[in-house]
Amino acid sequence: MTIFDKYQLSTGNAICYSGFRAGQKPGGKYPSYEEIREDLVLLQPHFQFLRIYDVDLHAERLLEIISAENFDFKIMLGAYIEAEKNNENCPWEMPFLSDEILKKNQQKNEQKIKKLINLANLYPNIISFLSVGNEACVSWTDHLVSEESVVNYTKLAQKNTKQPVTFCENYLPWINELNTLAETVDFISIHTYPLWEHKNIQEALDFTIQNYWEVKNKHPHKQIAITEAGWATSANGKGFPAENANENAQKDYFIALMNWCKSENILCFYFEAFDEIWKGSDDPLEPEKHWGLFYENRTPKKAINKSFISNLNYV
């Protein structure tokens, strides 16, 4: 049984959406009503499901617009939980967080889960899935949260909402560590990035399929969604060879991935809709800035081909 079948949802294409533009970032200036509406108009012909990362003003405006203007989207709404533990294994330099800060983060996380619940109940016909965190358990995370805490957040959301609840994480912890959480969530959500693991475009889809089946074989009774998989179009050579990041490779990976997911009836949120120039370092070639299918100015990249994407609809 697929996720679509289990939760009685129409099938469709899915994408990660974060609408922050130049001069905007989480915790700073947020996209306006008009900017978000413009994005939804661009995405509507191609995608039916959107993944949203946090219960902030961006999410509130998005849900308001979809409701008020009858956009035909279903939402995976997330709560972006923050560090409750210091992580000495994080590969980039992070300040040591005091016990006081970690306690405050835990309190903020609890409030975010409560807000996630409130929004889920306020928009039950728009929000189809809930996620209680993003990449908070993997070894390299800069916002480490214990499995026990994530299990508790999952149970709290499940108890107080009707939507299925998941946790979005790199594929490896689901194989090696998160057994209790895997049993607790309604379905498992994995992230897979061949580019970050030094795969070229010829190896990319096989690597993603391998990641999927490693998790599926570990948890054969659970449905599995891919909640992030993508390909950057620019890079500075830090983390992977810069020449591997380009529009042609992104298009090839996008087409191959979406066709495979369609053939297997797997819910896959492609990462991501728009470039986000606020991310990462000040280097304009920082790869974190360049994963979108559209540039930050909303110009489409090569992967956005209307005739191709319309043929991907799961009908």
pLDDT band with cut points at 50, 70 and 90 for residue 12: confident
Q: Which residue has the higher pLDDT, 186 or 8?
A: 186
Q: Tell me the whole-structure pTM to 2 decimals.
A: 0.95
Q: What is the pLDDT of residue 311?
A: 61
- Model confidence pLDDT, tens digit, residues 148-187: 999 999 999 999 999 999 999 999 999 999 999 999 999 9
Compute the average pLDDT of residues 196-210.
Answer: 98
Q: In this predicted model, what pLDDT tens digit does every residue of 272-305 receive, in sequence order? A: 999 999 998 999 999 999 999 999 999 999 998 7
307 has a pLDDT exceeding 70: no
Give the per-residue pLDDT at 181: 99
Pairing of strands 269-270, 49-52: unpaired
Per-residue pLDDT at 89:
87
| Span 3-311 CATH architecture | Alpha-Beta Barrel (3.20)
What is the reported pLDDT for 313?
52
Q: Domains of the chain: which residue ranges?
A: 3-311
82-99 pLDDT, tens per residue? Answer: 999 999 888 888 889 899
pLDDT > 60? residue 80: yes
